[in-house]
């Protein structure tokens, strides 16, 4: 049910630049236009709960001093800005719909150069768009509604993909110097000194080889939890999946990583099971740091 007349304009003014207030107040069709904007958003996403004040404050914040505010409001992608605003508010149903109708469709249209790392691109895109940094608003709050939400997200995802390609050299597996493995071991651990140079190098190579056997989704989940420190609840929100499912997948990915590292070490160093377990034990307790070094 729509808001009663003469109630929506103040909600828009609360977010709009003060320099536009007089222009907006004098627009005779503004109230009807805001009512239509709200109704279109509700019609497109009937299961999404979003307060009119939140939507119109969001819209007001993105009005520009140049141009005609009424024209800008008429050209808004109402359904898209409604969904984006609800996502910025952390509305669970909106996050699920965003994943299904926007993010996954955007992934299908990424450059062919990014097809081998789609899950990782999506993971970082989710994080940047849907999680605030240092208490700030999520980046999706920057979406103005002037273009389609899908197109805007594709641009963000493409830029992230380019950054990942540049940072990690995903066209070929990035190498990690053996010296980095020193950081995997506790400084006061007496066993640290028994690792010879060839053992450290084998450990580095084994971890990298093990990571390469994981799927993009598994690496993305491990990166979120072990590198970025997100809780299972936060990851479940990002993926719009049950917490129990996410926790199980993270645990399975971690277990696969350790088992594959075990196999790789045994093959490289020609060690028996007990010796490999001893060496791998030095790494297992420091897995968070190892993932930071090898995936960061």
Distance CA 269, CA 248 (A): 32
Q: How far from the centroid of its chain's Cα atoms is residue 200's Cα?
A: 33
Mean pLDDT, residues 247-256: 88
The pLDDT assigned to 166 comes to: 66
Mean pLDDT, residues 105-127: 75
Of 14-18, 29-33, 163-167, 194-198, the poorest mean pLDDT is in 194-198
Contact 60, 15 (CB under 8 A): yes
To the nearest whole number, what is the mean pLDDT of the chain? 77
Decide: pTM greater than 0.85.
no
Q: Does position 282 have pLDDT exceeding 60, yes or no?
A: no
Mean pLDDT, residues 271-285: 55
Q: Which two tokens stand for residue 139?
A: 């980046």
Mean pLDDT, residues 132-141: 79
Of 41-45, 79-83, 241-245, 277-281, the poorest mean pLDDT is in 277-281
Residue in the structure block whose two tokens are 């010796």: 275
Of 35-39, 97-101, 154-158, the poorest mean pLDDT is in 154-158
Of 34-43, 118-127, 185-194, the poorest mean pLDDT is in 185-194
With bands split at pLDDT 50, 70 and 90, how would you rate the model's confidence at 176?
very low
Of 47-51, 86-90, 199-203, the poorest mean pLDDT is in 199-203
Contact 124, 165 (CB under 8 A): no
Distance CA 84, CA 140 (A): 6
Distance CA 169, CA 113 (A): 12
Q: Which two tokens stand for residue 248?
A: 């199980």
Q: Please spell the DSSP secondary structure of 36-76, one letter per residue.
A: HHHHHHHHH-TT----HHHHHHHHHHT--SSS-HHHHHHTS
Express each pLDDT in 92-101 by its tens digit. 999 999 999 9
Q: Is 146 exposed, middle or buried (0-12, 13-18, 19+ CB in 10 A)?
A: middle
With bands split at pLDDT 50, 70 and 90, how would you rate the model's confidence at 270?
low
Mean pLDDT, residues 1-30: 82
With bands split at pLDDT 50, 70 and 90, how would you rate the model's confidence at 229?
low
Contact 79, 44 (CB under 8 A): yes
């Amino acid at each position: 049910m729509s808001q009663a007349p003469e109630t929506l304009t103040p909600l828009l003014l609360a977010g709009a630049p003060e320099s536009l207030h007089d222009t907006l107040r004098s627009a005779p069709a503004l109230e009807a236009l805001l009512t239509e904007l709200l109704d279109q958003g509700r019609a497109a996403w009937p299961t999404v709960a979003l307060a009119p004040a939140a939507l119109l404050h969001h819209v007001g914040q993105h009005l520009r001093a140049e141009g005609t505010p009424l024209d800008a409001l008429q050209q808004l992608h109402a359904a898209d800005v409604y969904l984006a605003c609800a996502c910025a508010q952390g509305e669970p149903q909106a996050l699920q719909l965003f994943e299904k109708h926007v993010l996954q469709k955007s992934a299908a249209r990424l450059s062919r150069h990014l097809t081998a790392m789609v899950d990782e691109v999506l993971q970082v895109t989710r994080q940047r768009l849907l999680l605030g940094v240092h208490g700030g608003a999520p980046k999706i709050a920057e979406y103005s509604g002037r273009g389609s939400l899908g197109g805007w997200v594709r641009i963000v995802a493409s830029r992230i993909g380019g950054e990942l390609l540049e940072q990690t050299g995903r066209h070929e597996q990035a190498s990690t110097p053996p010296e980095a493995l020193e950081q995997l071991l506790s400084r006061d651990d007496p066993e640290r000194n028994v690792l010879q140079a060839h053992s450290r190098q084998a450990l580095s190579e084994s971890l990298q080889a093990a990571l390469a056997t994981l799927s993009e989704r598994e690496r993305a989940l491990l990166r979120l939890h072990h590198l970025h420190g997100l809780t299972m609840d936060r990851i479940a929100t990002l993926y719009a999946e049950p917490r129990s499912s996410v926790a199980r997948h993270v645990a399975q990915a971690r277990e696969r990583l350790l088992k594959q590292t075990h196999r790789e070490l045994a093959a490289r160093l020609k060690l028996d099971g007990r010796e490999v377990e001893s060496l791998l034990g030095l790494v297992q307790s420091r897995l968070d740091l190892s993932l930071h070094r090898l995936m960061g």
